[in-house]
Structure 1
Amino acid sequence: MDSEIFLSNMQQEDLEAAMDLKTAEGWNQTQADWELFLTQHPRLCLVAKAEGKTVGTVTAFAYEHKLAWIGMMLVNPLFRRKGISKRLMLELMDRLSFCPTIKLDATPAGQFVYEKLGFKKEYSLFRWIRKPVSLLPNNDLSPWVFKLGILELRDLLELDAQVFGANRELVLRHIWRSLPGGAFVCREQGGIKGFLLCRKGSRYIQLGPMVAENDTIAKALLHQALMQLGEKEAVLDMAANRSEMKTWLEQQGFEMQRELIRMYLHTNACAGIPEKYYLMAGPELG
């Protein structure tokens, strides 16, 4: 007889089990990431429970009440094929009825499932990974790349909101705090032409988000970050159509991994400026 499944709001005491589910999948999030979701949007963090334990999770982050991002869809392998992920999604979609645009990054296998729920494809991404490599440390910044301080983040908010499609100050500050030494900004003639933030995960450094006017600026920002990171393992998520950047990443020791499909529900009113959005913040943050 199948165990009865109950859905409820995520609580602080669920985080240990949520971390266990995440670790089993090899994902990179930290407990601080979970706490960001839970403290900012407690009604948008759900768990599925069976036999007295947490067996599934899903979260969402709402940007300005106009764009919501769904992530952290996890189900214990022993409880899959019981409709848990669908129930979690339907409940979360109902709670997000106030949001005109809902987005997520799906695996190719998950794309079909989400299409049945009404999601449409926006574009494809690829995850790239660089294994630990030996590099000589180089702390010299290019003439137009500067280290970014926490107080300067406010200078980026307008640019980021235009490119991403909504204001995400809380998320940018959260990412900066995880790795202040991995934050850079490109300034030319007094104006901001791009920036890169890096996040310290449980397994590796996540490069992104990164906004840039063009490939030259994107490469300069990434080069500086890679010099700072040295031998640390790093990953990034980049749109599939950037052929010149693909070649450059391969030259830096990156290898292409799995595909992700960026999808939206209802309208894509918060499309932003995809051609300037080089690296994503992560599948759970957009």
Structure 2
Amino acid sequence: MDSELFIREMQLKDLEAAMRLKTVEGWNQTEADWQLILADNPHLCLVVLAADEVVGTVCAYSYQDKLAWIGMMLVDRNYRRRGISKRLMREVIQRIGHKQTIKLDATPAGQKVYEHLGFVKEYSLFRWVRSKEAVSANEMETEKVQEVSPADFPEIISYDHKVFGADRTQLLRHLFERLPNGAFLIKEGGKIVGYIFCRLGSKFLQLGPMISSTDIAAKALISRVLEAFEGHNLVLDLGVHHANLYPWLESCGFAKQRELIRMYIPPNKVKEELANYYLITGPELG
């Protein structure tokens, strides 16, 4: 059975098949998301071929060779229970090596698979979805929120690095270039105390990443996105360490959808400052 399967590095020509696999699963990624990861990490993006057809994928995004984020783990439903996901994971972990911290966001179903590969749970997140027809019961307080400009990037990158634990310059610039009108910040005393970026997906506008010093700033940033993208389906992934925001999100028209489990292979050398780390970019990018 194994002789029928062949792992190789992903190529641009594979993206059509990769998009087909993710569409079947109802995921939110676009071809631009795949291209970002592939362009920056070609040796960490893999496919499995069966009879010259792509039947599985996995990708890892490396943040400055310090933190590698594994995502885009997909296997064609007709080829499951053949050990494909484990083979892909072992191969990408081997390619990442031992110098980087390795993390991922798993579904509850995938958690046990990853535990067998050496991953342990760090904490839970929950996905929240807001339909374009939803109505907010809150009066939005967004007067302090500003649009991000290119001149803000040095301070944003410094703030983000401190909270996230690794340099995400390339990712943040990519998000801004793709959707500049979806990037906002708040300043107090001339210093940034919170920011948010957004990403257009195939099904939802994904809110995140978002770093904030306070819940008040976090609410204002999310409210500003609701103003800017009224009439869009929205999604965000929020850690349980900010569970006090759950009632507020519900009042804004969001509904809790499902759990995600943040996992890592010990030792965990890159840790987020959870008090300020609100929204992730997405399960495929952390």
Matched with 1:208 is: 208
CA distance in 1, matches of 2:152, 2:263: 32
Counterparts in 2 of 1:134 and 1:75: CA distance versus 1, 3 Å: closer
* Residues 134, 253 of structure 2: 8 Å contact kept: no
Matched with 1:4 is: 4
- Listed one character per residue, the Cα deviations across residues 220-255 of structure 1 (whole Å, up to 9, x for unaligned) are 111111111111000000012323210100000000
Matched with 1:246 is: 246
Matched with 2:153 is: 153
Shift of 1:267: 1.4
Shift of 1:55: 0.2
Matched, 1:130 2:92: no
* Residues 135, 231 of structure 1: 8 Å contact kept: no
* Paired residue type of 1:186: I
Q: Which moved more, 1:198-207 or 1:93-102?
A: 93-102
CA distance in 2, matches of 1:265, 1:174: 28
CA distance in 2, matches of 1:73, 1:49: 14
Matched with 2:39 is: 39
Matched with 1:223 is: 223
* Residues 102, 264 of structure 1: 8 Å contact kept: yes
Aligned residues: 283
* Paired residue type of 2:119: F
SS in 1 for 2:237: strand
Q: Which moved more, 1:246-255 or 1:3-12?
A: 3-12
Matched with 2:101 is: 101
Structure 2 unmatched ranges of 5 or more: none
Shift of 1:2: 7.7
- Listed one character per residue, the Cα deviations across residues 68-127 of structure 1 (whole Å, up to 9, x for unaligned) are 000000000000000000000000000011433100000111111111111010000000
What does residue range 71-110 of structure 1 map to in structure 2 within 5 Å?
A: 71-110=71-110
Counterparts in 2 of 1:197 and 1:177: CA distance versus 1, 3 Å: same
Let me know the Cα RMSD of the aligned residues: 1.6
* Residues 57, 88 of structure 2: 8 Å contact kept: yes
* Residues 184, 221 of structure 2: 8 Å contact kept: yes
Shift of 1:263: 0.3
Matched, 1:13 2:13: yes
CA distance in 1, matches of 2:219, 2:262: 23
TM-score by length of 2: 0.95
TM-score by length of 1: 0.95
CA distance in 2, matches of 1:109, 1:135: 32
Q: Which moved more, 1:68-77 or 1:260-269?
A: 260-269
CA distance in 2, matches of 1:7, 1:243: 41
Structure 1 unmatched ranges of 5 or more: none
SS in 1 for 2:275: helix
Shift of 1:152: 2.1
* Residues 241, 275 of structure 2: 8 Å contact kept: no
